Structure 1
Amino acid sequence: MFRTAAAGTLLAVLAGCGSSGAHPAGGPETPPPPSTAPAADPSAPASAPGASGVPGFGIAGSGTPESVTAALAALPENLRKRVPQFPPAPLPVKVSLPPATDGKAAFFSRIPTTEKIAFITIDDGWEKNPLALQLFQAANVPQSLFLEVNAIKDNPGFFLPLQTAGATIENHTITHATMTRLSLEGQKREICGGADKLAAYYGTRPTLFRPPGGSWNNNTLRAAHACGMKAVFTWTQTTDHGKLFYQNEEKVIYPGDIILMHFRPRFVDDYLAVLKAIHKNGLTPARLEDYIP
């Protein structure tokens, strides 16, 4: 119901990041030019005071009406009306994970739920758009950032304030290597190394993993488990150049769908397109981490 092989193939071409259903072996994406955003101190603490820019923000959805209004007012005028407002997400019902003795991390392309929620996930980290923080604050919803170490190492501090505005940092390897082209040990080096480096940057070790290009196999699940990852995620819909690409013929975001976007040059248009699509389908963004035991 949620995807077909043809839709998955189309999505792989459009997104440049592979398809979740067929375990593709596509190569890494070509990185855009280095960001012009000012570099931050890589050793900065993960809870830098005043990092949110607008007071009144803690975890996503906790922004006060005044702080959300201030964040909206801080956006350029042409963007303000494009940021929908959402009701609070319902209390999460956690999914089941395989027993530890199984030796594999869980795998999800969507969260099995009937609640009216969807999940925003953002990959890589090459493009560090200065409007990201204001957009996160104005939307006041959670998002999971699956960061690639090589993409963020020029300015890891850029992502610190995003955490105060509802973002959770998760693991997307060191080099964006295609997992199915690596041995079990090679996958461990990418996954464990990525998690360790992100922990050093942000103070908390990731527990969720997204394989680059959506390419994974049983060794990926074993390596992820060995590296302390609870679950491996692909996606159900994706976004690029301000347009949503669906993996279902109905062109609908269903409850529990995981939407993929990237830190790319069209980040603002992509993020607003995701918000619009979720809102249009009568859903609310929820925190992916809240559904994992």
Structure 2
Amino acid sequence: MLVALLVGALGAACAGGPDAHGPWPGTGTGDVRPAPGQQAEAHGAAGALSAYVERFRQAQAARAAAARKWGLKRTPLLPPPPPEVKPELTFRKGFEVGDPTLPPVFTTVPTRDRVVFLTIDDGADKDPELLRMMDELAIPYSAFLSDYLVREDYGYFRRMQDLGASLHNHTLNHRYMPGLSYAQQRREICGQQDIIERRYGKRPTLFRPPYGNYNADTLRAAQSCGITAVPLWSAEAFPDRMEWREWDRDLHPGDIVLTHFRGRGMWKGSMADMVRRAMDTITARGYAVARLEDYV
């Protein structure tokens, strides 16, 4: 799909082609020759396209090899290009708190693209195998971090960020937010904002409350610290199963998939096992994993 789009774009840009300048010699319909500069432009565009196609082919071959290496049943599907305009986010029905000006809480991003988004919470397990696996498979994901776990090894999440993952807010101490006062909630959220900005150079705009629990004070506190959206989830991945929020136990365009930084001490498997389970399910159902920040 991406190749086809680029072929069309480069073809339109190539002013030296036959469609733009009439028939070339040998067509039996005339002998209108493109100017030398136009010929060079056409050859240059064709060469650029050929080089791109070869790089794309090599990248796909590497992805297929990585899928075999990591034990996936199929090579993950490629997502479409990011939307030019991000979808408008609103509260999921039943998740409102009475003030539509607060950051919206949602479980699915409104899109027709056959994409889902992979998100990983907290930071307890710091398995270097996960970083290698996700990098080699070129699977985008977003991490929602809690400092009481992350502080054991800030460098691990710096490496994760360097490999392309985005780091977001999951509070300082993973407390049940509705049980806290506004001031306590603000400290949990804003304090984590400050740490992520100081450690990783960027202040998050996305926040996920622990356990998915929040109230109006939670969202007001989050908004005061620079949060603009609150993505929850519609499915959860484990090494041995998927769990579903929706009645049909299926994926839908724009669904957010949750999992956690866990290991064999807490799971029946490793982080790599979880990725295999999640990706086999996502790919088999005809979805690609896209980058959440391209849509939100």
**What is the TM-score normalised by the length of structure 1?**
0.71
Matched, 1:84 2:82: no
1:102-142 residue CA offsets vs partner (Å, 9 max, x unmatched): 65222211111221110000001110111111111122121
The answer for unaligned runs of 5 or more in structure 2 is: 1-54, 91-98, 264-269
- Kindly indicate whether the alpha-carbon contact (under 8 Å) linking 1:143 and 1:168 is maintained by their aligned counterparts in 2: yes
Matched, 1:290 2:282: no
Distance in 2 separating the partners of 1:64 and 1:191: 41
- Kindly indicate whether the alpha-carbon contact (under 8 Å) linking 1:136 and 1:166 is maintained by their aligned counterparts in 2: no
Match of 2:86 among 80, 94, 97: 94
Q: Which amino acid aligns with 1:275?
A: M
Question: SS where residue 121 of structure 1 aligns?
Answer: strand
- Kindly indicate whether the alpha-carbon contact (under 8 Å) linking 2:88 and 2:110 is maintained by their aligned counterparts in 1: no
Distance in 2 separating the partners of 1:103 and 1:270: 37
More helix by percentage: 2
Distance in 1 separating the partners of 2:112 and 2:87: 12
Question: SS where residue 142 of structure 2 aligns?
Answer: strand
Aligned to 2:279: 275
Q: Assess, with a 3 A threshold, how the Cα gap between structure 1 residues 127 and 117 changes in structure 2: closer, same or farther.
A: same
The structure with more radius of gyration? 2
Distance in 1 separating the partners of 2:247 and 2:200: 40
Q: Which amino acid aligns with 2:112?
A: T
Distance in 2 separating the partners of 1:147 and 1:72: 31
Q: Assess, with a 3 A threshold, how the Cα gap between structure 1 residues 68 and 149 changes in structure 2: closer, same or farther.
A: farther
Identity %: 37
Task: Output aligned runs, 1:1-293, within 5 Å.
Answer: 77=69, 79-82=70-73, 84-92=75-83, 93-96=85-88, 104-265=102-263, 266-292=270-296
CA drift of 1:71 comes to: 7.7
1:7-41 residue CA offsets vs partner (Å, 9 max, x unmatched): xxxxxxxxxxxxxxxxxxxxxxxxxxxxxxxxxxx
Distance in 2 separating the partners of 1:274 and 1:76: 15
Question: SS where residue 154 of structure 1 aligns?
Answer: helix
Distance in 2 separating the partners of 1:175 and 1:264: 17
The answer for unaligned runs of 5 or more in structure 1 is: 1-62
Q: Assess, with a 3 A threshold, how the Cα gap between structure 1 residues 155 and 67 changes in structure 2: closer, same or farther.
A: farther
- Kindly indicate whether the alpha-carbon contact (under 8 Å) linking 2:171 and 2:209 is maintained by their aligned counterparts in 1: yes
- Point out the more displaced range, 86-95 or 122-131: 86-95
- Kindly indicate whether the alpha-carbon contact (under 8 Å) linking 1:103 and 1:226 is maintained by their aligned counterparts in 2: no
Distance in 1 separating the partners of 2:57 and 2:193: 35
Q: Which amino acid aligns with 2:277?
A: A
Q: Which amino acid aligns with 2:273?
A: D
- Kindly indicate whether the alpha-carbon contact (under 8 Å) linking 1:136 and 1:162 is maintained by their aligned counterparts in 2: no
- Kindly indicate whether the alpha-carbon contact (under 8 Å) linking 2:169 and 2:189 is maintained by their aligned counterparts in 1: yes
1:153-207 residue CA offsets vs partner (Å, 9 max, x unmatched): 0101011222233311001000001111111111110000011101111111111
Question: SS where residue 249 of structure 2 aligns?
Answer: coil
CA drift of 1:88 comes to: 3.1
**What is the TM-score normalised by the length of structure 2?**
0.70
Distance in 2 separating the partners of 1:255 and 1:72: 24
- Kindly indicate whether the alpha-carbon contact (under 8 Å) linking 2:208 and 2:232 is maintained by their aligned counterparts in 1: yes
Distance in 2 separating the partners of 1:82 and 1:166: 24
- Point out the more displaced range, 159-168 or 147-156: 159-168
Report the count of equivalent residues.
227
Q: Assess, with a 3 A threshold, how the Cα gap between structure 1 residues 102 and 257 changes in structure 2: closer, same or farther.
A: closer
Q: Which amino acid aligns with 2:168?
A: E
Q: Assess, with a 3 A threshold, how the Cα gap between structure 1 residues 64 and 184 changes in structure 2: closer, same or farther.
A: farther
Q: Which has the higher contact order (CA 8 A, sep 6+)?
A: 1
CA drift of 1:81 comes to: 4.0
